[in-house]
Amino acid sequence: MNLSVMLSQLGSGFLVSVEIFAVTLLFSLPLGLLICFGRMSRFTIVRLLFSAYISIMRGTPLMLQLMVVYYGPYYLFRIKVPMSYRLIAVFIAFSINYAAYFAEIYRAGIESIPIGQYEAAHILGYNRVQTFFRIIFPQMVKRVIPPVTNEVITLVKDTSLAFAITVTEMFTKAKQIASSQASMVPFVVAAIFYYIFNLIVALAMNRSEKALNYYR
């Protein structure tokens, strides 16, 4: 297999990896904020439920969660799912997993805001919603960008776990090519793809952090 054919096949797998990455962020970032609100709720039952959710998501392997989401409908409810559900299962498992991590990052960011910010907002006549979205949220975003960046970089690499339910992303493609060609070259090329992808993500997040420097 020549290099151009290999790059073409790995490229198709790379697009699937990018799709998993993008959809996961699209859903997990806002979902994490909702979970954060539940985790910080004044109601004990709500707080305990969301704390348990976060504990389970962070305390069990993502690969196991993938399998539960994919095989669960059949083994639990005898619902036969179509082949196309594989990718949807990946989206669901990744989103609910990463939302739990983002929720804790958001909570740490919110709790790091000085109480004086809330008092000043109250004096200005802001209600709770206005206080959060006009005063607290912008400052929280600035503070959580570094840990969020770490999670986003981890997500790029975790997309390879989709192989567990036979979703053909880039790592799976590299394994297939390496097996058929008895060569390590596909793994080296895949590693370069992952590194460049992570480098772009890190640079983008670093630029975002610098853009929010006025919140110092």
Q: Are 134 and 88 in contact (CB under 8 A)?
A: no
Mean pLDDT computed over 145-153: 94
pLDDT, tens digit, for every residue of 153-191? 999 999 999 999 989 899 888 988 888 888 898 999 999
Q: What is the pTM of this model?
A: 0.92
Q: Looking at residue 183, what is its pLDDT?
A: 85
- Mean pLDDT in residue range 183-210: 91
Q: b/e for 171-194, b at 16 or more Cβ within 10 A?
A: bbbbbebbeeeeeeebeebbeebb
Query: Structural domain tally of the chain?
Result: 1
Residue 129's pLDDT is 87
> Mean pLDDT in the chain?
91
41-53 average pLDDT score: 96
Per-residue pLDDT band for 211 (boundaries 50, 70, 90) equals confident
pLDDT tens, position by position, 121-130: 888 888 888 8
Domain encompassing residue 69? 3-215
Which CATH number fits the domain that encloses residue 154? Answer: 1.10.3720.10
* Termini Cα distance of the chain: 54
The CA distance from 17 to 155, in Å, is 10
Q: Output the DSSP codes for 83-98.
A: TTHHHHHHHHHHHHHH
Q: What's the pLDDT at 1?
A: 63
Q: Cite the DSSP H helix spans in 124-184.
A: 128-130, 137-158, 170-181
Q: Is the pLDDT of residue 57 over 70?
A: yes
113-134 mean pLDDT: 88
pLDDT at 7: 84
Q: pLDDT band for position 215 (50/70/90)?
A: low
